Structure 1
Amino acid sequence: MGRTAVAFSPGHISGTFHRMIGPTYAETGSIGTGIVIDAGVTAEVRAAERTSVTIHEPRRDGGEGRQTRTGSPPIEYALARMGVAAEVITTSSLPSGSGFGLSAAALLSSLTAADALFSLGMGREGIVALAHESEIVHASGLGDVVACAGGGLVCRRTPGLAGDIERITGLRDRIVTVHFGPLTTADVLSAPDVMGRIGRAFQPGCPSDLKEFFIRALTFARETGLVTTEVAAVLAACEAAGIPASMTMLGNGVFATGDYAEEILSEFGRVHSMGIAGNGFCLKGVWNE
């Protein structure tokens, strides 16, 4: 009889970030601010002779319906480092490549389930360390893994696994998003001119509340030069209506909050609504089939 382990990790929307390169994977990452969202990735893991990864998610072009993809180099790398082979099925309510930190969420949920299924005893610190390493190796993220270890409005003062992190929790605000197709994180992180603009745009310091977070994030987005035509139109509409909003980092989309945020964003495309997560990744259980 086979066994299945299931785990979940929330996603993370970055508002500001600055890459920091250290001598090791553990010391490399980013500083900055973001929101851990209660939407994310659920992973089902079963033992297999050869590792395979299947990804179920909404369409990445912003249209209706869902799509299925196969293969995930970050997850496959991490499972190989764990010394196991598994069939992994990940399911997300949000599209990848749109600035929701889903690469990190998929890694954390998959590794959490695999750790439980194979009784590896890695613990939360070991899972976070390996997921973070895989993100750095594959240039799929910098600080999302560390952020998704907990919930709330997150400010990463120092980079890497042992980074100084401040969290504001207990927030009840709803976050509304609209996106216009994927923006590949690896492409941005590997472009020196873009990373130079991001570095110059970044201002250190932690916001005192969600309102200040959005003000900082919007200023950062505009100064990076990453704002696309579609995103600029949404941001202008939000600003005219007094809706706190900014560009998802890194994704071709907008996230906003406030009483009329959903109404404004729905004029531009399919809207996703979510809360601010109170907790980080977790194991749901292990069952015999």
Structure 2
Amino acid sequence: MTDVAQAFVPGHVTGFFTSDHDPDPTKAGSRGCGIALSEGVTVTVRPADEVSVELNGEPITMGAVERVLDALKAPAAVSATTDLPLGAGFGVSGAMALGTALATNAAFDRRLSRNELVTVAHGAEVQAGTGLGDVVAQANGGVTVRLEPGGPQDNALDRIPARGRVEYHVIDDLATDGVLDGDTTALTTAGKKALSDVVGEPTLDRFMRASREFARESELLTARVRDVILDVNEAGGTATMAMLGETVIALGTGLTDAGYDPDVCQIHPAGATLEP
């Protein structure tokens, strides 16, 4: 056991996804595709007398993190910092769950493998209702294509080989559980179509087009996001909606060229890592 351990987990924006249910939360999840971001979440874990969770210095209730600590039988103080907004489609809850798993394993000398820790974090987030596929993508990095749902023991992953600049413009947040707890039939149908398109043409351009089509066909596209996407398109760029958040992501300088003042990051090629 060490006094403290720290992990960095990239943010993740999902372009499209399915909702795949299973009684075992480690087998449930989603198929889809998304981009890992150089902006992410740094999670610090310290052994403590009782569990506490903070985000950017403020106490927060985070069911996925608490489930990870319970699974690892680790009373700990978890402190996370990030510049990414919570609830806007950047996978912050998944990052906190995965970062907690990695750092707790080190701080408490649990001696679990990476796949075991990803499975714990993935199952915890599915049970908490805050995400279906962020954790496995954040563990993998890059532009991950999730071909099958579930944790590492069940899923199948591929990647679109790509690097580059990503801009984002946050309008508002969306309640993830409100979408995932509802009827996801149309959403899953649209997600399967988008996945088939990207598997047939695994490029960033096809990913963006498939994501826009998914946002429209799943009826998740909001009027405000649509208007920003149209502005980017008219300026010659390409943009789509981050799932699940009222957030627009664009490649290159798409949002800047359209007259917006976006936040800027890069595609992050690596997955989550322990910090020295």
Normalised by the length of structure 2, the TM-score is 0.92
**CA offsets, 1:42-80, max 9 Å, x none?**
011111100000101xxxxxxxxxx83422121112101
User: Is 2:237–2:250's contact at 8 Å kept on the other side of the alignment?
Assistant: yes
- Once structures 1 and 2 are overlaid, which stretch shifts more, 132-141 or 204-213? 204-213
**Counterpart residue number, 1:201:** 190
**Aligned pair partner of 1:275 in 263, 266, 273:** 266
1:238, CA displacement in angstroms? Answer: 1.1
User: Is 1:234–1:265's contact at 8 Å kept on the other side of the alignment?
Assistant: no
**Counterpart residue number, 1:154:** 144
One-letter amino acid of the counterpart of residue 46, structure 1: R
Aligned length, in residue pairs = 268
User: Is 1:177–1:265's contact at 8 Å kept on the other side of the alignment?
Assistant: no
**Counterpart residue number, 1:132:** 122
CA distance in 2, matches of 1:107, 1:258: 30
- Structure 2: segments with no counterpart, 5+ residues: none
1:122, CA displacement in angstroms? Answer: 1.3
- Structure 1: segments with no counterpart, 5+ residues: 57-66
CA distance in 1, matches of 2:140, 2:47: 28
**Counterpart residue number, 1:165:** 157
**Aligned pair partner of 1:221 in 215, 218, 225:** 215
User: Is 2:236–2:254's contact at 8 Å kept on the other side of the alignment?
Assistant: no
1:110, CA displacement in angstroms? Answer: 1.4
CA distance in 1, matches of 2:46, 2:69: 12
Q: Could you say what secondary structure the match of 1:44 adopts? A: strand
CA distance in 1, matches of 2:245, 2:259: 16
CA distance in 2, matches of 1:278, 1:245: 20
Whether 1:80 and 2:70 are equivalent positions in the alignment is: yes
Whether 1:106 and 2:100 are equivalent positions in the alignment is: no
Normalised by the length of structure 1, the TM-score is 0.88
**Counterpart residue number, 1:13:** 13
Q: Could you say what secondary structure the match of 2:139 adopts? A: coil
- Once structures 1 and 2 are overlaid, which stretch shifts more, 70-79 or 39-48? 70-79
**Counterpart residue number, 2:46:** 46
Matches within 5 A, 1:193-272: 195-202=184-191, 203=193, 204-205=195-196, 206=199, 207-264=201-258, 266=260, 271-272=262-263
CA distance in 2, matches of 1:258, 1:112: 32
Q: Could you say what secondary structure the match of 2:207 adopts? A: helix
